[in-house]
């Protein structure tokens, strides 16, 4: 037990939510963008790992973590471009291509990442938003990385974009009806490929966060399935970017529950606490389910809804 007693748990969950949620947030925002245009990119787990590797390597070689983030975004969009182009061919299944891209991404990252397991790359800076508190736990929890803030801003920006801008409208039309989009003179394949590229860039940045900030090192085991879970979070968030932000926070915070309960001495059944994020996901999905509103918000052209 420590001086804070049980208060340590909410503080740790808050800290965990901020630290752990960022990769979930970026990957799920990328996936929202892609799925809103009518494609599913299941390969974002591979893109995340490639982003983590490229980001770490470039940060180490250049000495600048921000160059690493840019390189991760570029690598991610290159993967998105490949996925987008292949899926633009007739009668190609986007889910199968996504799985292939996932395996390709992790394989390439392991191969090219080998020389970068040992070196230590510079970390991304963080902003000490907890300066006002004299409690070290609170200070540590509120040590917020810039990428988290960028991700939060991007969630609201994407929401605004879908709602009010012409680009948002174009993506939504393409995602809801290929025929309607063609009738409007749009080129669905081009829009979808661009949306997949942008989505890949988001996922790449999510990977760079893993290797350059938290946990902050590159190795083959850096991702514990964040990319896959984030794709599921998109459905959970009903294709709404702001809801993705909430879902990522919830998921990150629930993940901090296991260690923080053990640290205050509640250690029986820690295996169960580690499943908290997944149990929570199931619970929320059941609670928000409805026989009439099933798949609300799902783009009409998505291959899982057709």
Residues at the interface with other proteins (CB under 8 A) = 2-3, 8, 11-12, 15-16, 19-20, 110, 114, 117-118, 120, 136-137, 140-141, 210, 214-217, 219-222, 224, 226, 255-256, 258-260, 262-265, 267-271, 274
Q: Which is nearer to other proteins, 46 or 188 (CB)?
A: 46
Question: Smallest distance, Å, CB 107 to other proteins?
Answer: 11
**Nearer Cβ to other proteins, position 40 or 144?**
144
Contacts 24+ apart (CB under 8 A), 59-67: 59/121, 59/122, 59/212, 60/116, 60/119, 60/120, 60/121, 60/122, 63/122, 64/122, 65/121, 65/122, 65/123, 65/124, 65/125, 65/212, 66/124
Q: Smallest distance from the beta carbon of 265 to other proteins, in angstroms?
A: 6
Beta carbon of residue 212, minimum distance to other proteins (angstroms, whole number): 12
**Smaller CB distance to other proteins: residue 170 or 229?**
229
Closer residue to other proteins (CB): 166 or 271: 271
Neighbour tally for 185: CB within 10 Å: 6
Q: How far is the CB of 26 from other proteins (least distance, A)?
A: 15
SS (H, E, C) the chain: CCCCHHHHHHHHHHHHHHHHHHHHHHHHHHHHHHHHCCCCCCCHHHHHHHHHHHHHHHHHHHCCHHHHHHHHHHHHHHHHHHHHHHHHCCCCCHHHHHHHHHHHHHHHHHHHHHHHCCCCCCCCCEEECCCCCCCHHHHHHCEEEHHHHHHHHHHHHHHHHHHHCHHHHHHHHHHHCHHHHHHCCCCHHHHHHHHHHHHHHHHHHHHHHHHHCCCCCCCCCCCCCHHHHHHHHHHHCCCCHHHHHHHHHHHHHHHHHHHHHHHCCCCCCHHHHHCHHHHHHHHHHHHCCCCCCCCCCCCCCCCCCC
Pairing of strands 143-145, 126-128: antiparallel
Nearer to other proteins among residue 14 and residue 40 (C-beta): 14
Kindly tell me which of 9 and 86 has the beta carbon lying closer to other proteins.
9
Question: What is the closest distance, in whole angstroms, from the C-beta atom of residue 68 to other proteins in the complex?
Answer: 17
Least separation in angstroms between CB 4 and other proteins:
8
* Least Å from the CB of residue 160 to other proteins: 31
| 196 or 281: CB nearest other proteins | 281
| Closest CB 153 distance from other proteins, rounded Å | 23
- Nearest CB to other proteins, comparing residues 37 and 226: 226
* 118 vs 134, beta carbon nearer other proteins: 118
Least distance in angstroms from the C-beta of 15 to other proteins: 7
């Amino acid at each position: 037990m420590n001086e804070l007693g049980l208060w340590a748990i909410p503080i740790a969950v808050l800290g965990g939510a901020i630290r752990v949620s960022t990769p979930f947030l970026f990957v799920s925002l990328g996936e929202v963008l892609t799925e809103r245009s009518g494609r599913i990119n299941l390969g974002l787990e591979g893109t995340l790992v490639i982003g983590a590797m490229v980001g770490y390597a470039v940060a180490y070689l250049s000495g600048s973590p921000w160059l690493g983030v840019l390189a991760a975004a570029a690598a991610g969009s290159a993967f998105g471009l490949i996925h987008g182009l292949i899926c633009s061919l007739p009668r190609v299944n986007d889910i199968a291509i996504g799985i292939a891209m996932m395996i390709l991404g992790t394989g390439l990252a392991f191969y090219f990442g080998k020389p970068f397991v040992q070196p230590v790359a510079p970390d991304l800076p963080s902003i000490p938003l907890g300066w006002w508190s004299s409690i070290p736990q609170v200070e540590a929890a509120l040590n917020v990385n810039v990428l988290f803030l960028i991700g939060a801003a991007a969630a609201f920006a994407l929401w605004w974009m879908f709602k009010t801008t012409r680009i948002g409208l174009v993506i939504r039309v393409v995602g809801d009806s290929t025929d309607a989009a063609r009738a409007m003179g749009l080129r669905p394949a081009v829009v979808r490929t661009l949306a997949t590229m942008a989505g890949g860039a988001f996922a790449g940045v999510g990977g760079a966060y893993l290797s350059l900030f938290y946990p902050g090192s590159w190795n083959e085991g850096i991702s514990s399935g964040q990319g896959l879970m984030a794709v599921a979070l998109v459905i959970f968030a009903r294709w709404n970017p702001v809801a993705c932000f909430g879902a990522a926070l919830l998921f990150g915070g629930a993940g901090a529950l296991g260690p923080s309960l053990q640290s205050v001495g509640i250690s029986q059944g820690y295996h169960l606490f580690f499943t908290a994020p997944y149990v929570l996901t199931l619970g929320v999905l059941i609670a928000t389910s409805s026989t009439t509103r099933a798949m609300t918000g799902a783009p009409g052209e998505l291959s899982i809804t057709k």
